[in-house]
Amino acid sequence: MNQNYAVAREIYQEKGVDTEAVLQKLQEIPVSIHCWQIDDLSGFEKSDSKLSGGIAAIGNAPGKPRSQEEYMEHLNLALSLIPGKNKLALHAIYLNSNRRFVDRDAIEPAHFRGWVDYAKARGIGLDFNPTYFSHRLADDNFTLANADESIRGFWIEHGKRCRKIGAYFGESLGIPCITNHWIPDGYKDTTVDKLSPRLRLIDSLDQIFSQPLDPQYNKDSLESKLFGLGLESYTVGSHEFYSNYCAIRNNSMVCLDMGHFHPTELVSSKLSSYLAFGREVMLHISRPVRWDSDHVVTLDDELKEVLAEIKRNDSFNMIHIGSDYFDASINRIAATVLGARNIKKALLCALLEPTAALKAYEETKNLTRRLIGLEEAKSLPFGLVWNEFCRRNNMPADNWIASIPTID
C-alpha cells in the first residue's frame, strides 16, 4: 500500500497537487453523519406515532435495533468505520428520557446530556433537528403553518426548545451545533390559498428565532422541499420561501437537500449564488431516484460536482456537509458507512483536482485545455490516495463489510 501511494503521490505532483496537504485537509473537514439510518428514524421517544409527513423507510431488512442499547452498539460500529473528522446529527426524538414519555414541547438539554458525554468521549460535535412530524399533532401535515393556534403554539415551543438544546451542544463541546428546521406542511391536491399558511409560517419562525443565540454555539438552518408523499401539490416551506426568509427576515442559513428539487435541478449549480452574497449553507447529501427517495449516497457525478464546487471556491468554512438518507431494504449499519464513505471519497476527489491549473486555463480562455484537464483528472489514481487515508485512520480501505456481523 505504501508503494502504491508513493506512485500516486508522484502522479499528482506532476499535476501540481500535493497529496500530503490534501490528506491533512481531508482529515480536518467534518461531515455530519445522520443518526436515523440506523433505525429508520424511529428514535427513542416512547410513543405510538409512526413515520408521517411524507417520510417513509422502505423495506424490511432484518437487523433493526430492538432496544436503545442495541441501537448504540450499531451506531458505534458504523462510526468506527468512517475515517476522518465527523459530527453526529441527532433528531429530537432520540432523547434519553429514562424510558418515560416526554412530549416535544417539554424536551430540555438534560434529556440529551448522554449524547454530550458520548460526543466528548469521541471528540466529535453534534448537530440537531427538531422533529416536526410523526406526532399526533402533525396528523394533518400542518405544524408551524397550522391554522389551529394551539397546535401551532405546541410546535413553536418545540422549535424554541430545540434551539436551546443546540446551544447546549455547542457550548458543552466547543463546536457550533447546526439546528436544522424542516416541516412537512402542505397539501396533497390543488391549493387555493397559498399565502395564508406562509404568513403563519413567517410568524412561527419569528417567534422561534426571537431569542438570539450565540452563533459560536448554535446556528440555525431552514430546509426546503419541493413536495412529499401526500403533499404533492403544495409545500409551505418551499425553496423560494426559505431563501427569502433567511436573507431578509432572519440571519439563518438555507439547508439544501439534494433530493428536494425538480429532477433537472442541480444543487451544485446553486452553491455559488449563496456564496456570492456571503451566505452560509447547510448541505443534506442524499440520492434521489426520480424523486426525494433518500437512497443511500453513491459516488455519482452530482455528488462529486457538489464537493468540487466547495473546493473550487475554498468555502469549506461556509458550506457545511451532512448526510441524510434511510433505506430499510439493506443492512442499516452498512448503509450508514457506505454513504458516509462515499461523501468522504467525493471530498477527496475534489481536493485532488488540479484546480489552480484549470482556473488558469479558464482565465486565459484556453477552453480546450480546460476541458481536457477536467477529463484527464477523472482517471487519476484517487483510489490509491483513499487507501492511504484509511490506513492513517487505522480503518480498512476495502472489505470493511467484513467488520459488520450478519444480523438475524
Q: Which of these is catalytic: 40, 257, 280, 309?
A: 257
Q: Which of 45, 127, 324, 327 is catalytic?
A: 324
Task: Examine the residue annotation and report whether 260 is marked as an active-site residue of this protein.
Answer: yes
214 is annotated as an active-site residue: no
As to burial, measured by CB atoms within 10 angstroms (0-12 exposed, 13-18 middle, 19+ buried), residue 356 is exposed
Q: How many domains does the chain have?
A: 1
Whether 22 is in a domain gets the answer no
Q: What angle do CA 204, 207, 212 make, to 5 degrees?
A: 140
Please calculate the CA angle 215-218-220 and round it to the nearest 5 degrees. Answer: 95
Residue 327: inside a domain, yes or no? yes
* Residue among 39, 223, 353, 388 flagged as catalytic: 223
- 362 is known as an active-site residue: no
pLDDT in tens, the chain (408 residues): 689 999 999 999 999 999 999 999 999 999 999 999 999 999 999 877 788 888 888 898 999 999 999 999 999 999 999 999 999 999 999 999 887 899 999 999 999 999 999 999 999 999 999 999 999 999 999 999 999 999 999 999 999 999 999 999 999 999 999 999 999 999 999 999 999 999 999 999 999 999 999 999 999 999 999 988 889 999 999 999 999 999 998 889 999 999 999 989 999 999 999 999 999 999 999 999 988 889 999 999 999 999 999 999 999 999 999 999 999 999 999 999 999 999 999 999 999 999 999 999 999 999 999 999 999 999 999 999 999 999 999 999 999 999 998 754
Q: Is 126 domain-assigned? A: yes
Q: In this structure, what CATH number is given to the domain that contains residue 92?
A: 3.20.20.150
Give the count of alpha carbons within 13 A of 247, CB side only.
14
Residue 242 is assigned to a structural domain of this protein = yes
pTM: 0.96
Residue 7 lies in a domain: no
Residue 158 within any structural domain of the chain: yes
Catalytic-residue membership of 292: yes
- In this structure, is residue 253 part of a structural domain? yes
For residue 309, the enclosing domain spans 33-353
Q: For the chain, what percentages of helix, strand and coil (3-state, to nearest 5) are there? A: 45, 10, 45
Q: For residue 302, is it within any domain?
A: yes
What lies within 8 Å, CB to CB, of 108 at 6+ separation is 161, 164, 165
